[in-house]
């Protein structure tokens, strides 16, 4: 597929970079972007050269403002004009919905609101620049705010998700507050955002792919299980994945190597 709404590149360090590329429309998504994300996540999932992913957006005022309401007039972002055939955009946009278990680092700048949470809610690590602002305007426009905050509640907790959902356009979460409530794990200058996201992805990409992807899969799948079942599922994932991961790494050499680390 030739992409028109996103950019895709893979570098020699096994990092794939997906760039949401509609800056003139605040990087909002359309039905066409849904189709392109379905395709790009399939590529990421199947390409053995990709070990980690950076998700970012073209430079401008926004990471994304969600669905493009202007484009929705001519093309239904829900995929069909028939109610029974409509699907949630998150089914196309999010890595987990597309069964991608390779780690995804989101680099957020500027406005991030509404349907943009489809991406944020399914990324493994989210970092942002100091100009980032997070909010959800649905209720301010007379729309039920449900899917995005439900997904968000697994990341930041119920009260914070409800506050974002219910205050709509009347309040925005700053980068500093996003860090405090656990929506992001790091705040940087805008100039440092993309290099830092790639740096994190590249560090993860050096580790055995089976160990990394098995960890991502086990942890995300555990969210849908009761605690005891989640722990049992995690143990089973270790039994299955560890023997394979051991073939991808000289374990003795890794244990003997000098340890270098960053203190966060």
CA–CA distance, 45 with 189 (Å, rounded to integer):
31
User: Domain of 97?
Assistant: 6-205
End-to-end CA distance of the chain: 40
Check residue 74 and give its pLDDT.
56
For the chain, how many structural domains are there in total? 2
**Residue 264: inside a domain:** no
Residue 1 falls inside a structural domain: no
Assigned token pair, 169: 């356009």
Helix runs in the chain, H state only: 31-46, 90-93, 117-120, 147-156, 158-167, 175-180, 190-205, 209-222, 227-246, 251-256
Let me know whether 19 and 123 are in one domain: yes
pLDDT attached to residue 70: 80
Q: Which residue among 205, 222, 248 closes a domain?
A: 205
Cα–Cα distance, 39 to 117 (Å, whole number): 20
- 176-234 residue pLDDT tens: 999 999 999 999 999 999 999 999 999 999 999 999 999 999 999 999 999 999 999 99
> Are 25 and 42 found together in one domain?
yes
Q: What is the mean pLDDT of residues 76-102?
A: 85
CA distances, 257 to each of 101, 200, 260 (Å): 28, 20, 9
Whether residue 214 sits in one domain with residue 137:
no
Indicate if 76 and 60 belong to the same structural domain.
yes
pLDDT at residue 85, rounded to an integer: 77
């Amino acid at each position: 597929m030739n992409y028109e709404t996103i950019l895709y590149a893979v570098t020699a360090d096994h990092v794939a970079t997906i760039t949401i590329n509609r800056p003139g429309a605040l990087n909002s998504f359309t039905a066409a972007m849904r189709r392109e994300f379905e395709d790009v996540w399939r590529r990421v999932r199947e390409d053995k050269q990709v070990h980690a992913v950076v998700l970012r957006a073209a430079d401008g005022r926004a990471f994304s403002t969600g669905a493009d309401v202007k484009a929705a007039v001519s093309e239904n972002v829900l995929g069909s004009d028939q109610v029974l055939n409509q699907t949630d955009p998150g089914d196309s946009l999010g890595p987990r919905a597309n069964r991608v278990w390779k780690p995804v680092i989101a680099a957020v700048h500027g406005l991030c609101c509404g349907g943009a949470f489809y991406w944020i809610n399914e990324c493994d690590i989210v970092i942002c620049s100091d100009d980032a602002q997070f909010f959800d305007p649905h209720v301010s426009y007379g729309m039920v705010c449900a899917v995005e905050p439900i997904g968000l509640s697994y990341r930041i907790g119920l009260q914070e998700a409800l506050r974002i959902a219910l205050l709509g356009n009347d309040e925005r979460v700053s980068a500093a507050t996003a860090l405090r409530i656990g929506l992001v794990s790091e705040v940087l200058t805008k100039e440092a955002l993309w290099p830092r996201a790639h740096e994190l992805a590249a560090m993860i990409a050096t580790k055995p792919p089976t160990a990394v992807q098995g960890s991502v899969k086990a942890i995300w799948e555990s969210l849908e299980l009761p605690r005891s079942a989640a722990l049992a599922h995690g143990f089973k994932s270790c039994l299955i994945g560890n023997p394979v991961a051991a073939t991808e790494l000289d374990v003795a050499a890794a244990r003997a190597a000098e340890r270098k680390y960053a203190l966060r």
